[in-house]
Amino acid sequence: EAEVAQSPRYKITEKSQAVAFWCDPISGHATLYWYRQILGQGPELLVQFQDESVVDDSQLPKDRFSAERLKGVDSTLKIQPAELGDSAMYLCASTDRRGDTQYFGPGTRLTVL
C-alpha cells in the first residue's frame, strides 16, 4: 500500500542550529501539506503545496522557516535557526487531485535543546 514517507523520524538539535525535514508523498498526489503538532494539541497547518506552487503559507513563520517542493514531488521543510519553542512533531500529508482524504506520514519528532 502506498504511503507518505518522512525522514528523519527523530531529530535532536541545539537552539540556533539549522534542521531540515524531508517528505515524499504518495505517488501521484499533487497536494502536499506540512503540519506542526505541539504536544497535547492537534496538528496545525504550516504550508500547503499544489504541485510545486505554494497555496497557503500564511501560518509559516517565514523569518526562520522555509519550505520547497521544486519538482512538485518531494518536499523539504527547513528551520534556521531552531528555537526551543520549535520542539514538536512535524507531519507531512498528501492528497490526490480529487482532494478527498489527507494521508499522513509517520512524522518527524523534533527536540530543540
3-class SS at 66?
strand
Smallest CA-to-CA distance from 23 within 12, 34, 13 is with 34
Instruction: Report the residue number, 27 or 40, with the smaller CB distance to other proteins.
Output: 40
Q: Which residues fall within 8 angstroms of residue 110, CB to CB, at 6 or more apart?
A: 11, 12, 13, 19, 21, 79, 82, 86, 87, 88, 89, 90
C-alpha cell at 54: 505554494
98 binds other proteins (CB under 8 A): yes
Ramachandran quadrant class, 85 (left: phi over 0; alpha: psi -120 to 50; beta: rest): alpha
Residues in the chain, how many?
A: 113
The single residue among 1, 27, 40, 71 that binds other proteins, judged by CB under 8 A, is 40
CB of 95 to other proteins, least distance (A): 6
89 binds other proteins (CB under 8 A): yes
The single residue among 14, 51, 56, 83 that binds other proteins, judged by CB under 8 A, is 56
The single residue among 43, 65, 77, 112 that binds other proteins, judged by CB under 8 A, is 43
8 binds other proteins (CB under 8 A): no
20 binds other proteins (CB under 8 A): no
Under the rule (CB under 8 A), what is the footprint of other proteins?
A: 31, 33, 40-45, 48, 50, 55-56, 89, 91, 93, 95, 97-107, 109
